[in-house]
Chains A and B, each alone.
Chain A
């Protein structure tokens, strides 16, 4: 993205009037709305000293001329559909201009750029380092693929196609055989009408001065029939071979792509998944790859064979009889055109049916999945009513589509049948006048029908190609996303982390223009237990995410044992950190597999030890198959607190140097929590622990507490110190009415 867009010529005079030269302009961006909120451009122009708002439409005029020096900061306020940019100076707000969400991002960045300009007198270059979020193709105006950012129509297809074909490269020998079989099969197909022609002309209705005797004609008949039988058997064998090879080839290629894709997905960074829905990524692995396989293993061979057939038929009919051949070939484009237009129309309707289907499914899904809520609120009738409404809508649309289908299809088939009628008439005339044999006429009729296949193929080719290319591009988009940077050049191995963690002036935002952590600094000694406290959304989990290096700080640094975390070998780091996340996740698998996830070679005793420490052993033993009970999706249902305890056991078993508990015991009762804590105290001796909890009693064993508010550290110290300070922590404790209890522990 550029914060210096090209200014229209009309503004030059205006700027000259202000003694602003081209090189003085540091920022020039265009909004799409004017003061009244009409679609009309407005320019925001900044130099080192000045800020101008210019309305170029009609008579260009300067709407606003401000001195930058008087302004302290800028903010872009974004609502629904639109927003505005404001400048602030000692409590005063000045509205600069309006914009729609289409340009909102630009003004959000401009706000931070202008702030820096006002304070430092320059715009730091890194503020512009964001790629353009283009949504529509600049060439044709149609939307780009949201994921790959490519226009299905305008993007060069050759490159993608070639890359797609590279997947079948290892199978070239197989493909060569396939192509030969294909050619042979096509030849058989093209030959058979010729055989019928000869059969008719020599054996059935021979012409000419000398008609051969019946015995000769009978022999001829038999040999032609045998020949056709031979061809039939040959075709059948070819077909079997071909289909088997397609199946093999298609599925092997599919497997290759899927495996590669999944492997790649595993190594993409966490932030890649932040921006995408799991469902969308999943459909790439399942549906898009299937689309590729369909294209490679089915459409390409089909199109190829139809093309060969088209060429073969054309050659033969042209050599048989030029005039009639033209009658066969010329209507073909017309038929192709009609098929395509009608096909589109009908496709449209069936798309609508599909849409209504998904609406019915949505009701079904939400009502059945939420059946408890529906019943609890006695809303069964309303749900039933809604379902019947949607179902009726579906029914009406289906009826409509099918009736249209029923109306359009017979005329289309009649049209298909009309070309042979032409041949019958004009060819028949030639037969009557003796310029053409009956056999040739028969062959022509057969060829006309045979041509329908290639014609239909032609009508579909563009659709297929575009669909396949879209799928390919989506798949390649993933494959082309660079994986999480595993290790920088010269990463430092850390086989044993001591556990010192330090934040130095860390500023971080998931979106770098909206920091979530501001200038956070703290130091944690090895073996310390740190409690992170703060309101929901304060930034506690974010701090944890930085320690795990799921994200990297934009400013400042995170140090592990005094080494910048970006320089530590990622594998060493992650191997020695264990995290029990806020939303404890269990995989589909047994309890045992879940606990041993981070240490697959753990002994049974270790697994039980870990479960015991997490206070999970007892409930596990009471599951029907003990540690071998399947849990997770499709397994035995376990409660939220039980899931948390399994996650804790998993973390303990990993024997980490740094343990992170993000609301790890929020769903278990206080008694159980206390037992877990005692076990953790014992096991976690000499390890660094970060614990986050809203229930402050959970943190009673923490050595020190860090209180965070709006991404800033506001208090830090021991429990006693913080209580004595009577600050935010004190308030929190008081609020939770744990005061007496905690004071009793603390004092």
Chain B
């Protein structure tokens, strides 16, 4: 279907990737340089964190007013890209489960011990059907009692034993 919007970069303020630089300043906060404009400190957000994590990265001023967006983080130079992804990792923290060590169940609640890309972690979940969501085939997101989410991008990439444990409960 034809879009009603002409490709109008100014309307949603898409920044020209070649003119966009993101620098990490002393103290750890980021600075955005776009053409002649300089913004510091800034915040970065994803517009589609689950479905398109690399696209439409939004830059905000410290008071949450939008500065602009880049369409694809990969269009930026290596340093800016790295800085942005590091920053997003802080405010969009979803450990990836690599292995399930054990799961214990009781009255519908569960305790888990898993190995993630952030290290070993134990957590608890309430009723499974509320806390374990299958986004699409084999892509699972588990939410623990603290509201922290753990992701399994592809269930088939887990070791066999983990798959067996998971298969028994979901």
Could you list which residues of chain A lie within 8 angstroms of chain B, going by C-beta atoms?
Answer: 33, 37-40, 77-84, 86, 91-95, 98, 100-102, 135-136, 141-143, 146, 152-153, 351, 355, 358, 466, 470
A39 pairs with B121, CB closer than 8 A: yes
A142 near B109 (CB under 8 angstroms)? yes
Residue of A79, A92, A153 near B90 (CB, 8 A) is A79
The CA-CA distance from A39 to B94 in the complex, in Å, is 12
Inter-chain CA distance A469–B108, complex, in Å, is 15
**A40 to B129, alpha carbons, bound, how many Å?**
30
**A136–B93 touching, CB < 8 Å:** no
Interface residues of B in 98-126 (CB under 8 A from A): 106-111, 116, 118-122, 124-126
Q: Which residues of B contact A33 (CB under 8 A)?
A: 93, 118
Are B118 and A135 closer than 8 Å at their CB atoms?
A: no
B146 touches A (CB below 8 Å): yes
- Asked if B20 is at the interface of the complex by the 8 Å CB criterion, the answer is no
Would you list the 4 A-B pairs with minimal beta carbon distance, nearest first?
A79-B91, A82-B93, A95-B28, A81-B93
Interchain nearest-CB distance for A666 vs B (Å): 27
Assign chain B's interface to a size class: 35 or more
A146:B93 contact, CB within 8 angstroms? no
Flag if B118 contacts A142 (CB, 8 Å): no
In the complex, per-residue mask of B76-103: 1 if CB is within 8 Å of any chain A CB, else 0? 0000000000000111111100000000
Task: Tell me whether B164 is interfacial, beta carbon within 8 Å.
Answer: no
Inter-chain contacts of B45 with A (CB < 8 A): 79
In the docked arrangement, what's the CA distance between A333 and B110, Å? 27
Residues of B with C-beta under 8 A to A95: 27-29
Contacts of A101 in B (CB 8 A): 93, 146-148
Contact count A vs B, C-beta below 8 Å: 101
Bound together, the chains give a CA A40 to CA B118 distance in angstroms of 9
Q: Which residues of B contact A (CB under 8 A)?
A: 25, 27-29, 40-41, 43, 45, 49, 62, 89-95, 106-111, 116, 118-122, 124-126, 129, 145-149
Show 21 residue pairs from A and B whose CB-CB distance is below 8 angstroms, ordered by the A residue.
A39-B95, A39-B116, A39-B120, A77-B43, A77-B91, A79-B45, A79-B91, A79-B92, A81-B94, A81-B95, A81-B148, A81-B149, A82-B90, A83-B93, A92-B27, A94-B28, A100-B146, A102-B147, A102-B148, A136-B145, A142-B106
- Choose one: B29, B40, B129; the contact of A86 (CB below 8 Å): B29
* A142 and B41 within 8 A (CB): no
- Whether the Cβ atoms of A100 and B93 lie closer than 8 Å is yes
Are B125 and A39 in contact (CB-based, < 8 A)? no
Q: Considering only CB atoms, which chain B residue lies closest to A355 in the complex?
A: B129
Bound complex: CA of A100 vs CA of B94, how far in Å?
Answer: 10
- Contacting pair B119 A135 (CB below 8 A): no
Task: Give B41's nearest chain A residue, CB to CB.
Answer: A93
Give every chain A residue within 8 A of B119 (Cβ-Cβ). Answer: 38-40
Knowing A37-B118, A40-B119, A146-B126, the reply to whether A135 touches B145 (Cβ < 8 A) is: yes
Report B-chain residues with C-beta under 8 Å of the C-beta of A94. Answer: 27-29
Give the distance in Å from the alpha carbon of A358 to the alpha carbon of B118 in the complex: 34
Q: Do A82 and B91 touch across chains, with their CB atoms under 8 A apart?
A: yes
Do A79 and B146 have beta carbons less than 8 Å apart? no
Having A39-B120, A101-B147, A142-B124, one finds 11 other A-B pairs with CB under 8 Å, namely A33-B118, A37-B89, A38-B119, A39-B119, A81-B92, A81-B95, A82-B90, A82-B92, A83-B93, A93-B62, A94-B29
**Do B91 and A466 touch across chains, with their CB atoms under 8 A apart?**
no
Given contact pairs A39-B120, A40-B119, A143 touches B126 in the complex (Cβ within 8 A): yes
Task: For the complex, give the distance between the alpha carbons of A470 and B94 in Å.
Answer: 32
Q: Which residues does chain B contribute within 8 Å of A102, judged by CB atoms?
A: 146-148
A100 touching B91, Cβ below 8 Å = no
**Within 8 Å CB of A143, what residues of B?**
109, 124-126, 145
Neighbour of B29 across the interface among A81, A93, A100, A466, CB < 8 A = A93
Considering the complex, give the chain B residue whose CB is closest to the CB of A142: B109
- Give the distance in Å from the alpha carbon of A33 to the alpha carbon of B121 in the complex: 11
A98–B88 alpha-carbon span in the complex (Å): 12
Inter-subunit contact A98/B124 (CB<8 Å): no
A38-B118 CB under 8 A given contacts A79-B92, A100-B148, A101-B148: yes
Q: Which residue of A lies closest to B147 (CB)?
A: A101
A1 to B94, CA, bound (A): 26
In angstroms, Cα B56 to Cα A315, docked, is 77
Q: How far is the CA of A1 from the CA of B92 in the complex (A)?
A: 26
Nearest opposing residue in chain B for A136, CB measure: B124
| Cα A412 to Cα B78 with chains together (Å) | 66
A84 to B108, CA, bound (A): 33
CA distance A729 to B24 in the complex (A): 40
Contact between A141 and B124 (Cβ–Cβ < 8 Å)? yes
- Docked pose: A470 CA to B106 CA in angstroms: 13
Docked Cα-Cα span, A355 to B127, in Å, equals 11
Quick one: which of A93, A135, A153 contacts B124, CB cutoff 8 A? A135
Q: Is there an interface contact between B121 and A80, defined as CB atoms closer than 8 Å?
A: no
The reply to whether B91 and A93 contact each other, CB–CB distance below 8 Å, is no
Among A83, A92, A152, A470, which residue has its beta carbon within 8 angstroms of that of B91? A83
CB distance from B48 to the nearest CB of A (A): 13
**Cβ–Cβ contact A141 & B148, under 8 A:** no
Q: Is the CB–CB distance between B129 and A83 below 8 Å? A: no
Residues of chain A within 8 A (CB-CB) of B106 are 142, 153
| A358–B121 CA distance with the chains assembled, in angstroms | 31
Cβ contacts under 8 Å, A100 to chain B = 93, 146, 148
CB distance from B137 to the nearest CB of A (A): 12
The smallest C-beta distance from B85 to any residue of chain A, in angstroms, reads 12
Minimum distance in angstroms from B43 CB to a CB of chain A: 7
Query: Chain A contacts of B121 at CB under 8 A?
Result: 39
B93, B109, B116: which contacts A79 (Cβ < 8 A)? B93
Quick one: which of A78, A80, A92, A153 contacts B94, CB cutoff 8 A?
A80
How far in angstroms is the closest Cβ of chain B from A700? 32
Tell me the nearest residue of chain B to A40, going by C-beta: B119
Question: CA of A153 to CA of B106 in the docked complex: distance in angstroms?
Answer: 9
**A141 and B41: CB pair below 8 A?**
no
- In the bound complex, what is the Cα–Cα distance between A81 and B121 (angstroms)? 14
A517 to B124, CA, bound (A): 37
Q: Could you tell me the distance in whole angstroms from the C-beta of A72 to the nearest C-beta in chain B? A: 13
Q: In the complex, A102 Cα to B95 Cα: how many Å?
A: 13
Chain B nearest Cβ from A382, distance in angstroms? 15
Smallest CB separation, B72 vs chain A (Å)? 21
User: A141 with B122: in contact, given A80-B91, A81-B92, A83-B91 (CB under 8 Å)?
Assistant: yes
Q: Are A80 and B49 touching (Cβ within 8 A)?
A: yes
- The answer for the CA separation of A33 and B146 in the assembled complex, in Å, is 14
Most buried by B among A40, A79, A355: A79
| Complex Cα–Cα for A516 and B164 (A) | 49
Identify the closest chain A residue to B89 (Cβ): A37
Separation of A141 and B146 alpha carbons in the complex (Å): 13
How many angstroms from the CA of A275 to the CA of B41 in the assembled complex?
A: 34
Residues in A neighbouring B129, C-beta threshold 8 A: 355, 358
Contact of B118 among A39, A79, A91, A355 (CB under 8 A): A39
